[in-house]
Amino acid sequence: MLRERGVAWVETASPAAHAQGLAETVAAALREALASRGEARLALSGGRSPIPFLQALACHVLDWEQVKLTLVDERWVSSDQPESNERLLRRHLQPVFDRLHWQPLYQGASPAQDAVTAGAALLKWQPLDVVVLGMGLDGHTASLFPGQPQVSQWLQPGAGALCAATLAADASPRLTLTGRALHSARRQLLAISGEQKLQVLIGALERAPADCPIAAFLRAPLEIHYCPDQA
């Protein structure tokens, strides 16, 4: 069914190969953007699973000074907090992080104001060259959670804003890129590991995006990188 929808499937046997393969794919896409347009625009996911991928990506030799980096989503906390996705990127992309152009989502004003500020800054970065999505066991991607009142609207390619203030399942404030930024990216990648997430993904094929937001992305040009073994 994914193939019918034009979704590419890349399966790797080990967590190490998964991280390396995803890093190679992202680095190649960044090189292509750098060669074509002189700069590359990248949006990455946070959470817990991307650490080996981030470390592998940071080992690639690239013109990092011309790479523009942001997050697909952020918890509304400052970057010194353990749950900050910015903190995760700073730490695990450490050898290259200070060389690239960084656009934070969290600005410290209020979630709504930060969404406006980050969205305005990201206007100049459209379309993104590469987005790397993750997925939670509840089917959320970025910080687009099932059951949020405005989630159907935010998932649309024509969502008004590029960045929105949202609430996670535990009601903690988040910031997220919307469908407007995510669907327009030239390369759209989804990284998942483990049987549980595979079952969520398969279930999403039959579900409405409002109940299972990843469903909104299960079509071309999505490329799914899957490893059965969860590190």
Ligand X SMILES: O=C1O[C@H](COP(=O)(O)O)[C@@H](O)[C@H](O)[C@H]1O
Q: Which is nearer to ligand X, 125 or 217 (CB)?
A: 217
* Rounded least distance, CB 133 to ligand X, Å: 6
Q: Which of 16, 20, 31, 47 binds ligand X (CB under 6 A)?
A: 47
Alpha helices in 51-84 (DSSP H): 51-57
Q: Which of 45, 70, 107, 178 binds ligand X (CB under 6 A)?
A: 45
Q: Which of 21, 104, 119, 134 binds ligand X (CB under 6 A)?
A: 134
Is 188 among the residues that bind ligand X (CB under 6 A)?
Answer: no
Q: Is 131 helix (H, G, I), strand (E, B) or coil?
A: strand
The amino acid present at 21, given as its one-letter code, is: G
Is 3 among the residues that bind ligand X (CB under 6 A)?
Answer: no
Question: 87 Cβ partners below 8 Å, 6+ apart?
Answer: 79, 80, 81
Q: Which of 85, 148, 178, 188 binds ligand X (CB under 6 A)?
A: 85
Q: How many CA atoms lie within 13 A of 194 on its CB side?
A: 10
Is 213 among the residues that bind ligand X (CB under 6 A)?
Answer: no
Q: Which of 54, 58, 73, 222 binds ligand X (CB under 6 A)?
A: 73
Is 136 among the residues that bind ligand X (CB under 6 A)?
Answer: yes
Q: Which is nearer to ligand X, 65 or 83 (CB)?
A: 83
* SS3 assignment for 193-214: ECHHHHHHHHHHCCCCCCCCHH
Q: Of the listed pieces 16-24, 133-141, 158-166, 182-190, which binds ligand X according to CB under 6 A?
A: 133-141
CB 225 within 8 A of CB 15: no
Number of chain positions touching ligand X (CB under 6 A): 12
Q: Of the listed pieces 41-49, 53-61, 103-111, 217-225, which binds ligand X according to CB under 6 A?
A: 41-49
Using alpha carbons only, what angle is made at residue 33 by residues 38 and 7, rounded to the nearest 5 degrees?
Answer: 165
The CA–CA distances, whole Å, from 75 to 23, 72, 123 equal 24, 11, 21
CB 198 within 8 A of CB 125: no
Q: Which is nearer to ligand X, 107 or 143 (CB)?
A: 143
Residues that bind ligand X (CB under 6 A): 45-49, 72-73, 85, 134-136, 143
